[in-house]
Amino acid sequence: MARLTLIQGGKSKVERFEALIGRHYALLYRTAYRFTRSVPDAEDLVQEVCVRAFPRLDELERLDQPHSWLLCVMRRIFIDQLRRFDRSHVDSIETTDPASFVADGPGPLEETESALWSRRLDRAWRRLDEDQRTLLALHDIEGYTLAELMEITGLKEGTLKSRLHRARSRLGKLLKQDAGGAPLAARGAGGER
């Protein structure tokens, strides 16, 4: 029996991969940035996903929603990286330059409050564990449904709901602690779980 070979419109594997990743690149980068809170780390994370996806191009092209597979791989890579490296590799996303207080926009008070809030949120975000951070980023920021998260994480709906609730509660507690006055770093690295 003769074997049929499918010809992909004459496109090379690289062209096919670029087309596939091109459709999902903005989502991948945005999600990686939410996970890492750092431009260089987000770029590295997306690159690592691409390195892992390229050999599986034929399989990815057959999927209805390859972004779910790509995000699942990204989540696993991110968690592995956090386990290998110290969390100090994740830098703050914002450093306020005093020269940025210009009269055109909000006044100095509003700018200061916004910068302080951003720093508080960033400190609290970095103190969440990797599962809490990834679930909040995918569900609350990127807008993935529970069904989509079930596919990405392999968790059941009830488990996802409880983990999302715990992550939101923990983030709220960390923000309240930080608002209490003392810096989070002064309260100890263990924190409240």
Where does 121-181 sit in CATH, by number? Answer: 1.10.10.10
Of 48, 74, 69, nearest in space to 133 by CA: 74
The burial of 9, by beta-carbon neighbours within 10 Å (0-12 exposed, 13-18 middle, 19 or more buried), is given as exposed
Fold match, 11-86 / 121-181: no
- pLDDT at position 184 over 60: no
Q: How far is Cα 10 from Cα 3, in angstroms, rounded to an integer?
A: 19
Where does 11-86 sit in CATH, by number? Answer: 1.10.1740.10
Per-domain boundaries in the chain: 11-86, 121-181
Phi, psi of 9 (to 5 degrees): 60, 25
pTM: predicted TM-score of the whole model, two decimal places? 0.51
30 C-beta neighbours (distance < 10 Å), count: 15
Per-residue pLDDT tens for 28-66? 999 999 888 889 999 999 999 999 999 999 898 898 889
